[in-house]
A and B are shown apart, each in its own frame.
Chain A
Amino acid sequence: MAINDELLLRQLREPKTAQSAFAVLVKEYTEPLYWHLRRMVLDHDDANDLLQNTFIKAWTNMDSFLGNSKISTWLYRIATNEALTFLNRQNANDIVSLDNEESSAVNLEADEYFDGDELQQRFQQALQTLPPKQRTVFNMKYFDEMKYEDMSEVLGTSVGALKASYHVAVQKIAAFFQDDI
């Protein structure tokens, strides 16, 4: 059932109904936001932490949400910023080496919450070679089939730049699998 944004926002701003309205929000968006985060950070525990941060930030900053975008767009924006900050911090801490791409594939192989075959592992390895924001664009278009206009609102980037970024990302992935495809 589609959530009525206007009604929900009114309830979220009313102290008596805020908590029950937020429960509706959490129920509706937990899974899509989780998978959006998980595809970015790969690890379940990291995705779980970021998801909690996302909802807590949404809860504490509810009054500053002006309602000039969809609630889903606002939540995706918070989640994406949380993940990009996390990844940028992680990249800054990691030692840059040629083994970085391989190590993420090794981690997936040993990950009890990864159910993909070798081809899927290589696909995830290919995705890890993309810069974080470009990987986000790829995930949102390829897996979520998000419209560029909606993506533009989430990422604060023009539709043209997003189209170009996705096109380049697809070419890189295709090149990665040149022998297989």
Chain B
Amino acid sequence: MSDEEIIKAKIGTENPFKVPEGYFETFQQQLLGSLPERAAVEPEPVRTPLWGKARRTWLSVAAAFVGVVVLFATLHQTGGTKESASLAAADEMAFTEDEMADYIASSVFDDYTLYSYLTNEE
């Protein structure tokens, strides 16, 4: 049995917390009665296009082409892999330093165990 299954077998998933009687019904009434005024959102004015639709379409295509060329040139210069790796690292930094250090220092994984866990766990 896995640790999780052992914990569930021993402790279960029952909720040990209670609420005052009628709490949820009272909460909903009180909340809805105390909502602040929302600022009215002004609808955007309808703009009459200065240029014809066809000309705008050609300009959009041209702009998209220029954008692709610039992107390709930028990636070719800087190396896309490094940038995406640093973005992935930033995502991981969503945990605090303590939590990451804790994870690393626990040393419960070797590379193979971690790989197996990540690829098998649902």
Contact = CB atoms under 8 A, between A and B. Distances in A.
A47 B40 CA distance: 30
A181 interface: yes
B103 interface: yes
Nearest to B35: A59
Interface residues of A, number: 58
Interface stretch (A30-38, A70-78, A93-101): A30-38
B27 A167 contact: no
Contacts of B61: none
- Counting chain A CB atoms within 10 Å of each CB, the highest count among B6, B99, B118 belongs to B99
A30 B8 CA distance: 26
B3 A165 contact: no
A53 to B, nearest CB: 11
Interface string B89-122: 0011011101100110010110000100110010
B4 to A, nearest CB: 5
Interface residues of B, number: 43
Contact of B16 (A15, A27, A124): A124
Nearest to B10: A181
Contacts, number: 134
A52 B29 CA distance: 12
Interface string A15-40: 10011001100110011001100110
A165 B11 contact: no
Interface stretch (B17-25, B51-59, B63-71, B76-84): B17-25
Contacts of B20: 44, 113
B17 A113 contact: yes
B7 interface: yes
Interface in A42-66: 42, 44, 48, 51-52, 55-56, 59-60, 62-63
